[in-house]
C-alpha cells in the first residue's frame, strides 16, 4: 500500500522541456499597489527577521494555505448551506468564536503568503520550486475566500444575494486570477493586481466586525433617495465584481504593449489565446449545469458547486503542454519555415539571405525562425554564439555557418545590437534552442501539465483538459436521470479533488528531486558531494552575469 501511494505521488508529469525552462527561470513581477508597497512590504520586511533561518519558505506557504483551508472547514461544518446567517426561522447562527478564528486565520494566511518569498531570498533558497508551490496553492485559495465570505451574509432573500448570484462572483474571481497568469504567459511578467491586498484586508475586517457585532450588523439597507434602498449584501456583490474586473483593462494594455515594444513572447494570436480554451469550456459547463439542473442543484447544495468549480479552476489554471512555443505559433510554423527555405530538389543550397528587422545582421532565410527570439545570437560575443550553436543546434549548424560574415573577426569582442527597448531574457529563448524546429519535426510532444507551469517554464499551453469528457458526461447524465444528479456532483468533487492533489504532490516531488531539495526543510535530499556532475546550463555558458536564479543550498553557519 505504501509503495502504491509513493508511485501515485511521484508520477512524472513534467517533461524535459519544462524542466529545462525551470532551470533557466527568473522571477519577474511588478507590484504597483500603494498598500502593498508602502504598508505591507515594510511590515513583512520587519517581520521576516523574527523567523529562524531553518524555517523553510515552502513550509510558510503551506501553513498559510492550511489557515485558509481551516476557515472553509469550520464554516462548512457550522453553515454548509449558507443559511446560518440568513436570520430566518429554524436556523442556528454560527458561534461567535468562529468569526474571530476566521479573522485570525485569514490574516495569518495573508502574512505568510507575503513573507515566504522574503524568507527564501533571505536564506538563499528562492527559485521556481517555491514560486510554483505558492501560485499553485493561490489558485485554490481563489475559491476559499469568496466561499467563506458568503457565510457572513447568508442566502437571505432580503439582505443578501441568492447562491446563483454569489456563484457569479466566484467565477469572476476565478477569471481575474486566470487572466493575471495568462498575462504572464504572454508577457513574461506577472503584474500583481491591486485587488488582492484590498480583498485580504477587507475580509479580515469583515470577520472582525461580525465577531464583535454579530452577523445582524450587516442586515441593513442603504438609502438611495428617490431610487429606494439597496441591501448591503448587494453592495458587497457589486464591490467584488468591480474589484475583480478592474484588472482586465490593465491586462489588455500590458499584453498589447508587450507586442508593440517586442518585449514579450510574441506568440501568434491563436497561440496567445490557447490557454483560454479549457477555461472557456469549463466556464460554459459550470454555468449551464445550475441553469439546466432538473433538481435546482444550486439552491439545494451551493457549497458543493462552489467547491467543484474552484477545484476544476485550480487545475485548469495550471495546465500546459510540453510543446515549445515557437515564435509564430508552433509546429506548423516551424515546418513551413523549413519547407519554404529548402529547394524542392532537396539540395542543401538556400535561398537568398534576408535582412532581419530585430538585429543589425544578415542571415539565410532558413534562420528566420530565430529572428525574434535568438537572444544569444545578438547579445553575446561571436565566440559564445558559435559555442551555443555547436552545443544546441548541430543539425542546422551547416546553415548557420553560411551566415554572411561580419567585418570584424571572430576573435574580436563584437556585441551585436538589439533594436527592442530591452533584450530578451534567457528564460524567454531557452525553449527555442533546446527543442528547435529541425528536431521537433521528428517527434510529437503531447504530454500535458498546467498553465502556471507553462508560463514559468516557457512551454506551450494545451487547449484540452483530460477531465472534460467526464465532466460533460456527468452533466448530461444528470439531465437524463435527475435522481443521480447529486451523487454525480459529489463523485465529481471527490475525483477532481483527489486528482488535483495527486497532480500537485507529484509535480512538487518531481521539482524537489530535480533541484535536490526537501520541500518543507532547508536541506538537500542528497549531499552535494554525492551528486553526479550535471551539464552546465546554457545561461551559465553565455554569461555568468546573467546566470538564472536557480536554487542554492543554505550555507551552514559556523
Q: Give pLDDT tens digits for 267-301.
A: 788 888 888 888 888 889 889 999 999 999 999 99
pLDDT given for residue 460 in this prediction: 66
pLDDT given for residue 389 in this prediction: 53
Q: What is the DSSP letter of 491?
A: H
Distance from the Cα of residue 165 to its chain's centroid: 26
* Cβ contacts of 350 within 8 Å, gap of 6 or more: 341, 342, 364, 365, 366, 399, 402
pLDDT given for residue 386 in this prediction: 57
CA dist list (Å): 228 to 216, 217, 223, 224, 383 = 21, 20, 6, 5, 76
Enumerate the domain spans of the chain. 30-323+450-525, 331-444
**pLDDT per position as a tens digit, 224-265:** 877 888 888 888 889 888 888 888 898 999 999 988 888 777
**Cα 381 to Cα 359: distance, rounded to the nearest angstrom:** 14
pLDDT given for residue 383 in this prediction: 57
**Cα 182 to Cα 165: distance, rounded to the nearest angstrom:** 26
Dump the DSSP string for 504-544. HHHHHHHHHHHHTB-TTSSSBSS-GGGSPPPPPPHHHHH-G
CA dist list (Å): 264 to 218, 284, 355 = 46, 30, 22
Dump the DSSP string for 253-288. HHHHHHHHTT-S----HHHHSTTHHHHHHHHHHHHH
Pair 219, 154: CB distance under 8 Å: no
pLDDT given for residue 382 in this prediction: 52
**pLDDT per position as a tens digit, 507-531:** 889 888 888 888 888 887 666 555 5
Q: What is the CA radius of gyration of the chain?
A: 26
Pair 275, 268: CB distance under 8 Å: no
**Cα 542 to Cα 424: distance, rounded to the nearest angstrom:** 13
Residues of the chain with pLDDT under 70: 1-2, 317-450, 455, 457-465, 525-558
Amino acid at each position: 500500500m505504501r509503495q502504491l501511494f509513493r508511485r501515485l505521488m511521484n508520477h512524472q508529469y513534467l517533461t524535459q522541456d519544462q524542466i529545462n525552462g525551470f532551470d533557466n527561470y527568473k522571477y519577474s513581477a511588478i507590484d504597483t499597489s500603494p498598500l502593498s508597497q508602502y504598508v505591507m512590504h515594510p511590515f513583512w520586511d520587519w517581520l521576516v527577521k523574527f523567523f529562524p533561518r531553518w524555517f523553510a519558505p515552502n513550509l510558510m506557504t503551506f501553513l498559510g494555505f492550511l489557515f485558509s483551508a481551516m476557515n472553509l472547514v469550520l464554516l462548512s461544518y457550522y453553515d454548509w448551506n449558507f443559511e446560518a446567517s440568513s436570520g430566518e426561522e429554524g436556523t442556528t447562527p454560527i458561534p461567535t468564536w468562529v468569526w474571530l478564528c476566521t479573522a485570525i486565520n485569514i490574516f495569518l494566511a495573508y502574512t505568510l503568503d507575503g513573507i515566504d518569498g522574503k524568507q527564501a531570498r533571505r536564506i538563499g533558497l528562492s527559485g521556481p520550486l517555491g514560486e510554483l508551490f505558492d501560485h499553485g496553492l493561490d489558485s485554490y485559495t481563489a475559491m476559499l475566500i469568496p466561499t467563506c465570505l458568503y457565510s457572513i451574509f447568508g442566502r437571505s432573500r432580503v439582505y443578501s444575494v441568492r447562491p446563483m448570484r454569489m456563484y457569479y462572483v466566484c467565477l469572476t474571481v476565478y477569471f481575474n486570477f486566470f487572466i493575471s497568469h495568462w498575462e504572464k504567459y504572454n508577457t513574461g511578467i506577472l503584474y500583481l493586481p491591486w485587488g488582492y491586498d484590498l480583498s485580504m484586508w477587507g475580509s479580515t475586517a469583515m470577520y472582525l466586525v461580525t465577531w464583535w457585532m454579530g452577523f445582524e450588523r450587516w442586515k441593513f439597507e442603504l438609502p438611495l433617495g428617490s431610487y429606494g434602498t439597496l441591501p448591503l449584501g448587494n453592495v458587497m456583490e457589486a464591490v467584488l465584481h468591480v474589484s475583480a474586473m478592474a484588472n482586465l483593462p490593465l491586462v489588455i494594455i500590458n499584453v498589447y504593449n508587450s507586442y508593440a515594444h517586442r518585449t514579450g513572447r510574441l506568440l501568434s494570436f491563436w497561440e496567445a489565446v490557447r490557454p483560454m480554451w479549457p477555461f472557456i469550456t469549463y466556464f460554459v459547463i459550470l454555468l449551464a449545469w445550475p441553469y439546466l439542473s432538473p433538481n435546482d442543484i444550486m439552491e439545494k447544495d451551493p457549497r458543493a458547486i462552489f467547491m467543484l468549480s474552484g477545484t476544476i479552476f485550480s487545475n485548469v489554471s495550471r495546465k500546459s503542454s510540453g510543446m515549445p512555443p515557437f515564435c509564430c505559433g508552433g509546429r506548423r510554423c516551424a515546418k513551413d519555415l523549413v519547407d519554404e527555405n529548402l529547394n524542392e530538389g532537396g539540395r542543401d543550397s538556400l535561398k537568398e539571405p534576408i535582412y532581419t528587422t530585430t538585429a543589425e545582421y544578415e542571415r539565410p532565410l532558413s534562420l528566420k525562425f530565430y529572428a525574434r527570439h535568438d537572444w544569444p545570437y545578438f547579445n553575446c560575443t561571436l565566440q559564445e554564439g558559435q559555442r551555443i550553436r555547436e552545443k544546441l543546434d548541430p543539425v542546422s549548424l551547416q546553415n548557420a555557418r553560411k551566415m554572411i560574415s561580419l567585418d570584424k573577426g571572430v576573435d574580436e569582442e563584437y556585441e551585436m545590437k538589439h533594436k527592442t527597448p530591452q533584450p530578451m531574457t534567457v528564460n524567454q529563448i531557452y525553449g527555442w534552442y533546446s527543442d528547435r524546429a529541425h528536431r521537433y519535426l521528428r517527434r510529437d510532444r503531447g504530454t500535458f501539465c498546467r498553465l502556471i507551469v507553462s508560463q514559468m517554464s516557457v512551454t506551450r499551453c494545451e487547449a484540452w483538459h483530460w477531465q472534460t469528457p467526464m465532466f460533460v458526461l456527468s452533466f448530461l447524465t444528470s439531465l437524463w436521470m435527475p435522481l443521480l444528479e447529486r451523487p454525480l456532483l459529489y463523485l465529481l468533487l471527490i475525483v477532481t479533488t483527489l486528482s488535483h492533489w495527486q497532480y500537485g504532490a507529484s509535480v512538487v516531488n518531481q521539482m524537489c528531486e530535480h533541484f535536490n531539495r526537501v520541500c518543507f526543510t532547508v536541506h538537500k535530499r542528497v549531499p552535494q558531494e554525492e551528486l553526479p556532475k550535471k551539464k552546465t546550463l546554457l545561461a551559465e555558458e553565455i554569461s555568468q552575469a546573467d546566470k538564472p536564479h536557480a536554487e542554492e543550498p543554505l550555507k551552514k553557519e559556523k
